[in-house]
Structure 1
Amino acid sequence: MSSNKVVHVISHTHWDREWYMPYEAHHVKLIENMDTLLHTFANDPEYRSFYLDGQTIILEDYLQVYPEKRELLCQLSRDGKLSVGPWYVLQDEFLTSSEANVRNLQIGHKDAAAFGSLSKLGYFPDSFGNMGQAAQLLAQAGISSAVFGRGVKATGFNNKVEESSGLESPFSELHWEAPDGSRVLGILFANWYNNGMEIPVDPLLAKPYWEHRLAMAERYASTPHLLLMNGCDHQPVQTDLTAALQVARELFPEYTFIHSSFDAYIKQLQQDVPPDLSVTRGELRGQRTDGWFTLVNTASARIPIKQLNQQNQTLLEKVAEPIAAFAHQLGQPYPHALLQYAWKTLMQNHPHDSICGCSVDEVYPEMKTRFAKSMEVARSLVKERVASIAKQVDTTDFTGLGESAAPFLLFNTSGYAGAGVVTIEVELAQRFFDQSEDPVAIARHVCENSHAEGYLIDANGQPVAHTMEDLGVRFGYQLPNDRFRQPYMARTLRLTFEARELPTMGYATFAWISDRTVSTAARGAQMTSLVTSPSTLENDLLQVSIEADGSYTVLDKRSGQLFERIGIYENTGDIGNEYIFKQPNGDLPITTRGLQADIRIVEDTPYRAAIQITHRLDIPKQADERLAKEIATMVSFRERQAQRSKELATLVIQTTISLDRSGQGVRVRAVIDNPASDHRLRVLFPSGVQAAIHYADSIFEVAERQTVPAPEWENPSHCQHMQTFVDVQEENRGLVIAGKGLNEYEVLQDDLGTIAVTILRAVGELGDWGVFLTPDAQCLGRNEAEWMIIPHTGGADRFEAYRHAYQFPVPHTICQTDVQEGSLPPIHSFLAWEGTGLAFSNLKISEERGDFIARWYNLSRNSTELRILRDSPCPMYHSDILEKHRTEVSGEIIQVGGYKITTIGILA
């Protein structure tokens, strides 16, 4: 054995806030653990440091109970004993959005700095795979090294490290490179993050312990520095560590044992890493393993939770932050604190065991409450700020039309110009009242002195085709900032129409004109129906034809490409768990192919048409009785012999296919009445493309992935993660499937290049290290799913398809206003831009400088140009993920390198 080996023992605990127990049960254990840690620091001067799992929320949770200990924690942080940050929570990277990953880093940095020190380490101990752009994000944040547990070496049941061939790196140290070329030093927990836990003090036990642990560490180390992690999941502090290390020194004098920290370990490691370390590029998803323990099927566990997360993230990053930025430019204070509160509340749902859906049932009611709280804050902020913007818009062009005009603003904050069908409720004849007045009489007065006749026009005075529903007289209220609440009664109309030209990051104005004598011309130009047969919808770009079994064929008129028999549902058994899908041995899929469906037209308006398809699919009601016995006795899912039961239940799927007049894709919404357990439901999209690679929307990139797995792969399933969409393409032909909170897909290895998107997975156990039943994860009852089908012609045309996919989940924001003079025009863009191959990410206000902060990322390997279009020149500068001022932007064109994440500060 070499005499220069240094054993770095780093104390830590990996803290899942909620998992096999609900949050507060874990919280109690956290308080006890932190109390023990503080006592150990106070009484053992040789106990030098403790790593707080890379997440500042641990201290936040502790201070909920002991707020008086904040200064003590700050002192320990300043002294280097507590390593704090850089994240707020340890998130699942693939199931949280690009901007959520950034906010996590930003808030973690801010909170850690408030305690006096900041750990500059990219810490990913147990992420279920790692995002490809991690190195670029870390490098932009000034972080030069990262540690991770998964994605390179096989990790099996109960986090057991398994051997596998073809590893991306022969060492635990490697260079981890992002698609743009950014690099960090990567350190793999080759023997997991518990390889130094519970070190014996008894020499008889310590000798074999160290012989084994040192040999395993040396096996993968490329330097003399050996990393031993003294802790594990919720691991109590080892209070006798100082004595245990002294015993180790006596037993193995040829090694230097130190109670170390990551800062000290990495500093010494970087001095000794060999020049020929291997380079691992992009995503770390365990593709060179047997494929069973990548845990990718957490992407389909408890899909309703994923859907709430998508709604919450989108509301914050694509609606609340941009609209608050617009209002800030017009003089409104930017609500930094409230937005941070909303983000933190959301991110408390982002730890991997939470958002992945792999916790006990008790966790999820609290998660739903957090989602609701975060979204309520966001909606309140949006409501106030769109009202303040609307008051500054000039709507005098609507003066003198009809009896009265009710203007309203329609905001588009997706980042891309476009069209969309929207629904708005407009209030007319608003009549306020106080406590001395009779509300019944007020309501009757409003009803008798108002009507629902009229027409809709745009900002140019052109009639807009629409449908109107008179909702009658309803109660409402206002909450002025300078007086008591103001109740009122008003006649309410529900309008639905297509807004055909909405500016980028801005708004367009429309108005309902009350008029009892509405001419035909005022109702809008007559348009041909989008329904061209009882089973066919058609606009200028697309045709969708419904087959007798409810599958559909889409014709892309631009290219002439036909996508046939898509939309078939596939049902299989699932005897796995929340982590892993496992189809019973010999189980054959049950599909809707050839099953007679009920088909009827449910909407035929000038702006949209829709066909509803109802399937009644008989499937096994559950797994047979063997599954319960196998779960109870912890039979490994791979060894289970359970089958699906012979008892049948009827799975009812009601699918609505709609086509907008200006639609670039076909919209689909499915309502699933699930009466069965232990199964998976997917929808199939044969693309007609046989390609070795495909593309999936991921974190700040559209990742290029292999359709056929590596030779080491044994799992019959090859499911993968997506954020918003997946794309299969070749020259002149491509198909994008975009979803709302649908995060799991598989490109099947068939002759049709079929994309399979999971829309429901029903399982009854958590899995992993014990027996934890999860009946709520069976997702019984009503479930919903929404997706969009976007054909394209391959090549660079795919970028336009991606823009429509990115727009799909972003809602429009609507605000009614008055006929008034104002400084803003009826149609306005607060941030217009151009750039081929660029994806828009976010617009917000810098907390430090008060400037616009806008972010894009290049979807291509080729450099491209970004042009920010302003009415008048204004200073701009290059920023980074932490929103720091870097260099000034010179000229009007900003060069964006291949796969680069580009953040620009704009002085308002």
Structure 2
Amino acid sequence: MTVQKTAHVISHSHWDREWYLPFEKHRIRLVELMDALIELFESDPDFRSFHLDGQTIVLEDYLQIRPDKQEIVARMVREGKLHIGPWYILQDEFLTSSEANIRNLLAGHADARKFGAVSKIGYFPDSFGNMGQAPQILMQAGIDTAVFGRGVKPVGLNNEVKGAYESAFSEMNWQSPDGSSVLGILFANWYHNGMEIPDNADEAAAYWARKMTDAEKYASTPHLLFMNGCDHQPVQTNLSEALRTARSLYPDVRFVHSSFDDYVANVKAALPSNLSTIHGELRSQRTNGWWTLANTASARVYLKQANQRVQTQLEKVAEPLAVFAMLAGHAYPQHLLAYAWKTLMQNHPHDSICGCSVDEVHREMQVRFDKSFQVAEQVASDSLQAIVSQIGTEAVFAESSIPFTVFNTSGWVRTGVVSVDLEIKRLPFAGGKRERIISELKELSLNRFVVKDASGNRLDAAVEDLGVTFGYELPKDRFRQPYMARSVRVRFLAQHVPGLGYRTFALCRDESGSAVPAIRQAEGRRMENEFLTVTVAEDGTYGIEDKRNGSVFTGLGAYENVGDVGNEYIFRAPDSDVSLTTRGLPADICVEEQTSFRTVIAIVHRWNVPASADDVLDREVAEFVPFLERKAQRSERTVPLAITTRLTLEQGVPQLHVQTSFRNEAKDHRLRVLFPTQIDAKVHYADSVFEAAERETVPAPTWTNPSHCQHMQAFVNVRDTARGLTVGTLGLNEYELLRDGQGTIAVTLLRAVRELGDWGVFHTPEAQCPGDHTLEYVLIPHGPDQDTEQSYVAAYQAQIPWTAVQGQVQPGSLPPDHQFVRWSGDGLALSAVKRCGSSEDLMLRWFNMTKRPAELRVEQIHGIERMLYRSNVLEEEGGGVRLGEPIPVRPAEIVTIGGKRP
């Protein structure tokens, strides 16, 4: 019996919010599309549905211009004609944090519900690879189907899996590391395979003969998918007539103007039993390697740095502090944080955060980053003041003391050097008394100041005089209050500050004698603490000896420079390009700072590199020569590239912090830092979305690209059974494990190119990234087993800034040292501390970094004694959990716990 084929035609337009045109120019076309779509729904009853690209921001952008269309749009959604959500934006999954991916889903659901319905399709049409935990995230959100365009190489000849092919069909099971599985549907013929359907019979016959054959090559069921649209595609207004023509030409095929809900339901009912199962990340690793688009991780690195800074300020500083303040009785600023998150996420579409748009787009992104950070910073500041105003200090510090509190907003106990600015004395500022006020403040003596903890222990500290500074207060009940103050900067080692808690210290007068001097005489190129010894060679490379296990890493930190004649999407070195490195180049080396708690060694390389590509590249770009066919070489002219490296080793901290600074005057090149590990490992590990992803070091046999760059979030790790090295980064998202016999980790610091690439000629001079750059990263050697996970924790903490604020001697309801949330769980990483978006409940989220079962205990939450509950990524209430009760956690599982406040 012949089964009738059904052609499901789904109308859509893939809407890159900003890309080869800046946002507002694209938005004008969006308004035109939506106006035409509304008119078509009203005039043509046979035009049944439109998929609005899985992102609710499209409606936000439209209704800002057309607020009068709000109710019409809502009616279209309620009637099932317009399908919206589940995301707020179509993000790049690998360049946005784990929490950013969740907040994107939360915001999309919240926005879609306001209109009446959420499309429960995991829509990833154009992501540059897909996160391995997507099935788990989707399942927790009640979504059991993912539709995606990249990451998997489908089917061999006659629907057979051969060689490196990953699926026999465009339909497959997609499984996360925790075992969660969804139906995966690949756009095997891309998301434009049903665009611009002819209504003319002759043209339609040729069109459908080709399109039907292409779809049948991959489909596992008689239900064939045709996506009627493409990037910024206007709605096809004559689609109903075109489908009538198709029905007349192919009476044995059922042509329907469909939706994803109808299409997926029909596919599920007809699926065969022999679907392939794909696992984890989808990164096109079984291809030739040229079109993975992984090099977007290094395009415009300054954007990635800004994104990491703002994400961290929101999710790891502002939100935890706001929760602490909430638990202490203050209101949680949900509206402000929601605004800050949305502003940040407007920078997360794949063509935005990937740095692969025209220059105007990325200038506007900088403004959004600034706006979001300003809100997060103010929320943090207000929360700090609310907390510190309740900390009782009068029982532990003298009245003349200047208390200050150091907050650890990470999930684990932490030790490190903290810097805090303190006001010794403040005087109201009055214009006529300016000279007297300044003179009085300058006369204050700063001698014999020491730092003490709440137990009265004196701590070694460096106190720097900042002189007389201007400041102001903005009281809630009166006009602004300017003042002048005598200020100092205090640096000291804060030890064992509890996770999700604080310790209070004070700057005190010590009349018994002078303060313990923090500065010591220093010499040589060697520094050490109780964990590590660091030695710098004459060429500026350095070695690290791990005292705990005797392992040694040498030759670390050389810089590599090569040419790049590719584009914002793809790195390509010129033919026969020779890699330049600083190995063997003499460096200027000095001890820049040494105290009892920190040593800093500065290394300066004075280097010359080619100024740019040669003139051939100008012609090749202008004439749209494909990047793989380009013959351009590097220029013989050189420009200076002076690189300053600062190595910082703190007492009590088993890691080396590195800062690299330089002014980029060169063009068309890439700069990386190299860390040979001498570890021969078939696999390595990279921080990805809610997992430490295991990846193959050597690519598949199909891979022909000489480069094998990959994404990371906070770290990359290489190890064997005895030792390992974790490289943690701040906003550096691209690495490569070199196949050089030395197990070298190469981290990209800068990639400078001149064009957007893709489908046309778009010059992007600002993508050359001229000017000053400062990059930060940490090196964390470790031993076997659990030491590896501790190195991951250290990398996560390295991204989170210390937070310190001045208080006063006062009574209070909070103790000088305190932990708001106490939890335990080997192998677990804390991801979020926030309030629920739709209730007053506290939400805490973890994930299992390991492949073994774990156990979570939430032992204490300030002010919460009632039952907790299991939740999900949508923050919905589930089964109850008692404080202190062990909660089983599957390997790689994401766990969210909710708590109700009294």
**TM-superposed deviation, 1:234:** 0.3
- Say whether the 8 Å CA contact 2:134–2:176 is kept in structure 1: yes
1:420 aligned to which of 416, 419, 424? 416
For structure 1, which segment, 297-306 or 864-873, has the greater mean C-alpha deviation from structure 2 after superposition?
864-873
Q: Which residue of 2 aligns with 1:186?
A: 184
**TM-superposed deviation, 1:433:** 4.0
- Looking at structure 2, the residues matched to 505 and 496 of structure 1 have their Cα atoms a distance apart, in angstroms, of 22
User: Structure 1's 154 and 775: CA in aligned 2 closer, same or farther, altered over 3 A?
Assistant: farther
- Say whether the 8 Å CA contact 1:428–1:490 is kept in structure 2: yes
1:200 aligned to which of 198, 201, 210? 198
Alignment of 1:41-120 (within 5 A): 41-120=41-120
- Looking at structure 1, the residues matched to 118 and 397 of structure 2 have their Cα atoms a distance apart, in angstroms, of 59
Asked whether 1:879 is paired with 2:876, we answer: no
Alignment of 1:243-282 (within 5 A): 243-282=241-280
Q: Deviations over 1:376-421 (max 9, x none)?
A: 00111111110010010011134436xx111111111011111111
User: Structure 1's 843 and 369: CA in aligned 2 closer, same or farther, altered over 3 A?
Assistant: same
Alignment of 1:132-211 (within 5 A): 132-153=132-153, 166-211=164-209
- Say whether the 8 Å CA contact 2:123–2:146 is kept in structure 1: yes
SS at match of 1:438: helix
Alignment of 1:314-713 (within 5 A): 314-400=312-398, 404-433=400-429, 437-448=432-443, 451=446, 453-514=448-509, 517=511, 519-520=513-514, 522-523=515-516, 533-713=523-703
Q: Which residue of 2 aligns with 1:889?
A: 881
- Looking at structure 2, the residues matched to 453 and 581 of structure 1 have their Cα atoms a distance apart, in angstroms, of 57
Q: Which residue of 2 aligns with 1:237?
A: 235
Q: State the AA in 2 paired with 1:510.
A: F
Asked whether 1:898 is paired with 2:869, we answer: no
Q: Deviations over 1:287-327 (max 9, x none)?
A: 00000000000000000000000000000000011111111
Q: Which residue of 2 aligns with 1:770?
A: 760
- Looking at structure 2, the residues matched to 414 and 204 of structure 1 have their Cα atoms a distance apart, in angstroms, of 66
Q: State the AA in 1 paired with 2:260.
A: F
**TM-superposed deviation, 1:83:** 0.3
- Looking at structure 2, the residues matched to 41 and 452 of structure 1 have their Cα atoms a distance apart, in angstroms, of 78
**TM-superposed deviation, 1:514:** 3.7
**TM-superposed deviation, 1:892:** 1.5
- Looking at structure 1, the residues matched to 837 and 228 of structure 2 have their Cα atoms a distance apart, in angstroms, of 38
- Looking at structure 1, the residues matched to 736 and 663 of structure 2 have their Cα atoms a distance apart, in angstroms, of 24
**TM-superposed deviation, 1:477:** 0.8
SS at match of 2:369: helix
- Looking at structure 2, the residues matched to 111 and 261 of structure 1 have their Cα atoms a distance apart, in angstroms, of 20
Alignment of 1:858-877 (within 5 A): 858-870=848-860, 873-877=865-869
- Say whether the 8 Å CA contact 2:397–2:506 is kept in structure 1: no
TM-score by length of 1: 0.97
- Looking at structure 2, the residues matched to 536 and 355 of structure 1 have their Cα atoms a distance apart, in angstroms, of 40
**TM-superposed deviation, 1:628:** 1.0
SS at match of 1:523: coil
Q: Deviations over 1:126-149 (max 9, x none)?
A: 000000000000000000001000
- Looking at structure 2, the residues matched to 2 and 166 of structure 1 have their Cα atoms a distance apart, in angstroms, of 32
- Say whether the 8 Å CA contact 1:835–1:867 is kept in structure 2: yes
Q: Deviations over 1:18-61 (max 9, x none)?
A: 10011111111111111111111111111111000000000000
SS at match of 1:397: coil
The gaps in structure 1 that reach 5 residues or longer are: 156-162
- Looking at structure 1, the residues matched to 243 and 631 of structure 2 have their Cα atoms a distance apart, in angstroms, of 47
Equivalent residues, number? 893
- Looking at structure 2, the residues matched to 645 and 848 of structure 1 have their Cα atoms a distance apart, in angstroms, of 59
User: Structure 1's 171 and 445: CA in aligned 2 closer, same or farther, altered over 3 A?
Assistant: same
**TM-superposed deviation, 1:795:** 2.2
Q: Deviations over 1:48-100 (max 9, x none)?
A: 11000000000000011011211111000000011010000000000000000
- Say whether the 8 Å CA contact 2:299–2:767 is kept in structure 1: yes
- Looking at structure 2, the residues matched to 452 and 486 of structure 1 have their Cα atoms a distance apart, in angstroms, of 29
SS at match of 1:137: helix
Q: State the AA in 2 paired with 1:897.
A: R
- Say whether the 8 Å CA contact 1:584–1:644 is kept in structure 2: yes
- Say whether the 8 Å CA contact 1:88–1:105 is kept in structure 2: yes
Q: Deviations over 1:606-652 (max 9, x none)?
A: 11001111112211100011111111111111111111011111111
User: Structure 1's 907 and 527: CA in aligned 2 closer, same or farther, altered over 3 A?
Assistant: farther
Q: Which residue of 1 aligns with 2:212?
A: 214
SS at match of 2:101: helix
- Say whether the 8 Å CA contact 2:561–2:670 is kept in structure 1: yes
SS at match of 2:42: helix
**TM-superposed deviation, 1:707:** 0.2
Q: State the AA in 2 paired with 1:428.
A: I
The gaps in structure 2 that reach 5 residues or longer are: 156-160
- Say whether the 8 Å CA contact 2:871–2:898 is kept in structure 1: yes
Alignment of 1:802-817 (within 5 A): 802-817=792-807
User: Structure 1's 121 and 154: CA in aligned 2 closer, same or farther, altered over 3 A?
Assistant: same
**TM-superposed deviation, 1:675:** 1.2
**TM-superposed deviation, 1:431:** 1.5
**TM-superposed deviation, 1:481:** 1.0
- Say whether the 8 Å CA contact 1:154–1:289 is kept in structure 2: no
1:756 aligned to which of 739, 742, 746? 746
- Looking at structure 2, the residues matched to 527 and 655 of structure 1 have their Cα atoms a distance apart, in angstroms, of 21
- Looking at structure 2, the residues matched to 164 and 212 of structure 1 have their Cα atoms a distance apart, in angstroms, of 25
Q: State the AA in 2 paired with 1:227.
A: L
User: Structure 1's 2 and 212: CA in aligned 2 closer, same or farther, altered over 3 A?
Assistant: farther
- Looking at structure 2, the residues matched to 796 and 442 of structure 1 have their Cα atoms a distance apart, in angstroms, of 57
**TM-superposed deviation, 1:166:** 2.2
**TM-superposed deviation, 1:482:** 1.4
SS at match of 1:407: strand
SS at match of 1:806: helix
Q: State the AA in 2 paired with 1:728.
A: V
**TM-superposed deviation, 1:272:** 0.8
- Say whether the 8 Å CA contact 2:141–2:872 is kept in structure 1: yes
- Say whether the 8 Å CA contact 2:55–2:89 is kept in structure 1: yes
- Say whether the 8 Å CA contact 1:153–1:164 is kept in structure 2: no
**TM-superposed deviation, 1:331:** 1.2
- Looking at structure 2, the residues matched to 716 and 154 of structure 1 have their Cα atoms a distance apart, in angstroms, of 23
Q: State the AA in 2 paired with 1:739.
A: T
- Looking at structure 1, the residues matched to 69 and 416 of structure 2 have their Cα atoms a distance apart, in angstroms, of 53
**TM-superposed deviation, 1:605:** 1.0
Q: State the AA in 2 paired with 1:125.
A: P
**TM-superposed deviation, 1:557:** 0.5
**TM-superposed deviation, 1:848:** 2.8
SS at match of 2:678: coil
TM-score by length of 2: 0.97
Q: State the AA in 2 paired with 1:550.
A: G
